[in-house]
Amino acid sequence: MDGARALKLLTLHREVLVERVRNTQCVLDNLQNQGFICTEDLEIIQHTNTRTQQVRKILELVQSKGEEACAYFIHILHEAYDAYIDLRPWFQSIQYEPADSVRALPVINTDPISRYSEKLRQELGRDTRFLTSYAQREETLLEDLYTNTQMELLNDRGESLGYLECVEDILGEQGVFNKEAETIFITGDAGVGKSVLLQKLQNLWSKRELNTGAKFFFKFRCRMFSTFKDTDEISVKDLIFKHNCYPDLDPDNEVFGYILRFPETVLFTFDGYDEIQMDFDTENVPEVVSPEEKTHPLLVLMNLLSGKLLKGSRKILTARTGTEVQSRIIGKKVVLRGFSPDHLKSYLALHFPTNEHREVVSVQLDANPHLCGLCSIPLFSWIIFKSFKHLQSVYDNFELPESCITLTNVFLLLSEVFLGHITKRPGLLKRSTRCTSDTFKSGLKMLSAFAKLALLGMEKGSFICSQEEVTSCGLSEDSLQIGFLRPVSHYDACGGAATFEFLHVTLQAFLTAFSLVLDSEVSPEEILKFFAKCEYKKSSRFSCVSCLCTPSRARDTDPFMTNEHFQFTNLFLCGLLSKPNAALLEHLVPPLDLKKKRRALKSYLSSSVRIHLRGLPRYPSTDIQGSKVHVMPNFLWILRCIFETHSEDVARLTAKGISADYIKLAYCNIYSADCSALNFVLHHHRKSLGVDLDNNNISDYGVKQLVPSFSKMTVVRFCVNQLTDSSIEVLSRELIRYKIVRVLGLYKNHITDAGAKLVAQIIEECPHIMTVKMGCNHITAVGGRFLAEAIKKSKSIFDVGMWGNSIGDEGAEAFAEALKNHPKLTNLSLSANGISSEGGRSLARALKENSSLHIFWLIQNSISDDAASELQEALRRNTALTHLILIDNKLSARGAQMLAEGLANNTSIKEIK
Closest contact distance (angstroms) between CB of 210 and ligand ATP is 16
Strands 160-163 and 151-154: antiparallel
| Residue placing its CB nearer to ligand ATP in the complex, 343 or 841 | 343
Candidate residues 135, 145, 404, 740; the one interacting with ligand ATP per rule CB under 6 A: 145
By CB under 6 A, residue 563 contacts ligand ATP = no
Among 371, 372, 465, 505, binds ligand ATP (CB under 6 A): 505
Residues 266-325 that bind ligand ATP (CB under 6 A): 272, 320
Using CB under 6 A, pick the residue from 146, 273, 398, 510 that binds ligand ATP. 146
- Which span sits near ligand ATP by CB under 6 A: 192-200, 622-630, 660-668, 749-757? 192-200
Q: Show Cβ contacts of residue 713 under 8 Å, excluding neighbours closer than 6 positions.
A: 688, 689, 690, 691, 735, 740, 741
Stretch that binds ligand ATP, among 102-110, 185-193, 815-823, 893-901 (CB under 6 A): 185-193
Q: How many CB atoms lie within 10 A of CB 810?
A: 16
Please report, in angstroms and rounded to a whole number, the separation of the first and last CA atoms in the chain: 70
Among 132, 136, 711, 882, binds ligand ATP (CB under 6 A): 132
DSSP characters over 717-774: E--SS---HHHHHHHHHHHHHH----EEE--SS---HHHHHHHHHHHHH-TT--EEE-
- Considering only 12-20, 183-191, 661-669, 862-870, which stretch makes contact with ligand ATP by CB under 6 A? 183-191
Q: Segment contacting ligand ATP (CB under 6 A): 140-148, 521-529, 679-687, 867-875?
A: 140-148
What letters, b where the CB count within 10 A reaches 16 and e where it falls short, cover 851-866?
ebbbbbbbbbbbbebe
Q: Which of residues 38-67 bind ligand ATP (CB under 6 A)?
A: none
CB atoms within 10 A of CB 904: 9
Containing H/E element for 620?
A: strand 618-620
Cβ atoms of residues 898 and 872 within 8 Å: yes
Work out which of 54, 109, 149, 878 binds ligand ATP, going by CB under 6 A: 149
Smallest distance, Å, CB 223 to ligand ATP?
10
Q: What whole-number distance in Å separates Cα of residue 223 and Cα of residue 530?
A: 21
* Position 690 contacts ligand ATP (CB under 6 A): no
Can residue 685 be called a binding residue for ligand ATP (CB under 6 A)?
no
Least separation in angstroms between CB 347 and ligand ATP: 6
For the CB of residue 379, give the shortest distance to ligand ATP in the complex, in Å. Answer: 4
Stretch that binds ligand ATP, among 99-107, 187-195, 599-607, 667-675 (CB under 6 A): 187-195
d(CA 630, CA 432): 51
155 forms part of the interface with ligand ATP (CB under 6 A):
no
Using CB under 6 A as the binding rule, whether residue 193 contacts ligand ATP is answered as yes
DSSP state string for 465-508: EEHHHHHHTT--TGGGGGSSEEEPPHHHHTSSS-EEEESSHHHH
Rounded Cα distance, 12 and 16, in Å:
9
Give me the least distance between CB of 340 and ligand ATP, in Å please: 12
Give alpha helix (H) positions in 67-193: 67-79, 88-94, 100-103, 112-127, 142-145
For ligand ATP, the nearest residue by Cβ is 193
Residue 426: how many CB atoms within 10 A of its CB? 4
CB 559 within 8 A of CB 280: yes
Mark the segment that binds ligand ATP (CB under 6 A) among 186-194, 442-450, 583-591, 605-613. Answer: 186-194
Q: Which of residues 92-131 bind ligand ATP (CB under 6 A)?
A: 131
User: Which has the closest alpha carbon to 802: 771, 823, 767?
Assistant: 771
Closest by alpha carbon to 291, among 305, 303, 306? 303
188 binds ligand ATP (CB under 6 A): yes
3-state secondary structure of 549: helix
Which position among 196, 547, 658, 844 is part of the footprint of ligand ATP (CB under 6 A)? 196
H-run or E-run covering 702: helix 699-705
Q: Provide the minimum distance between the beta carbon of 337 and ligand ATP in the complex, in angstroms, as a whole number.
A: 11
**Cα angle: 895, vertex 900, 904; to 5 degrees:** 145
Interacting residue with ligand ATP among 334, 379, 412, 455 (CB under 6 A): 379
Q: Binding of ligand ATP at residue 417 (CB under 6 A)?
A: no
Would you call 43 exposed, middle or buried from its count of C-beta atoms within 10 A (0-12, 13-18, 19+)?
exposed
Nearer to ligand ATP, 188 or 420 (CB): 188
Give whichever of 149 and 479 is closer to ligand ATP, judged by the CB atom.
149
- Residues constituting the chain: 913
Pairing of strands 499-502, 465-466: antiparallel
Applying CB under 6 A, among 217, 268, 382, 510 the residue interacting with ligand ATP is 382
Residue 846 touches ligand ATP, criterion: CB under 6 A:
no
Q: Does 464 bind ligand ATP (CB under 6 A)?
A: no
Q: Which position among 75, 78, 194, 704 is part of the footprint of ligand ATP (CB under 6 A)?
A: 194
**Residue nearer to ligand ATP on the CB measure, 194 or 215:** 194
Q: Give the Å distances, CA to CA, from 618 to 663, 672, 744, 797, 805.
A: 9, 26, 22, 27, 34
Query: Considering only 95-103, 376-384, 527-535, 553-561, which stretch makes contact with ligand ATP by CB under 6 A?
Result: 376-384
CA atoms within 13 A of residue 225's CA, in its CB half-sphere: 27
Q: Taking the complex as a whole, how short is the minimal distance between the CB of residue 568 and ligand ATP, in angstroms?
A: 9
From the list 70, 190, 658, 762, which residue makes contact with ligand ATP (rule: CB under 6 A)?
Answer: 190
598-602 long-range contacts (CB < 8 A, ≥24 apart) are 599/524, 600/524, 600/525, 600/527, 600/528, 601/524, 601/527, 601/528, 601/573, 601/574, 601/577, 601/645, 602/645, 602/647, 602/649, 602/650
Smaller CB separation from ligand ATP, 149 or 387: 149
For 627, list phi and psi in degrees, rounded to 5. -105, 155
If the CB atoms of residues 145 and 855 are measured against ligand ATP, the closer one turns out to be 145
Stretch that binds ligand ATP, among 184-192, 278-286, 368-376, 458-466 (CB under 6 A): 184-192
In the bound state with ligand ATP, the residue whose beta carbon lies nearer, of 194 and 333, is 194
Count of residues of this chain found to bind ligand ATP when the rule CB under 6 A is applied: 21
Q: Which residues of this chain interact with ligand ATP, rule CB under 6 A?
A: 131-132, 145-147, 149, 188, 190-196, 272, 320, 378-379, 382, 504-505
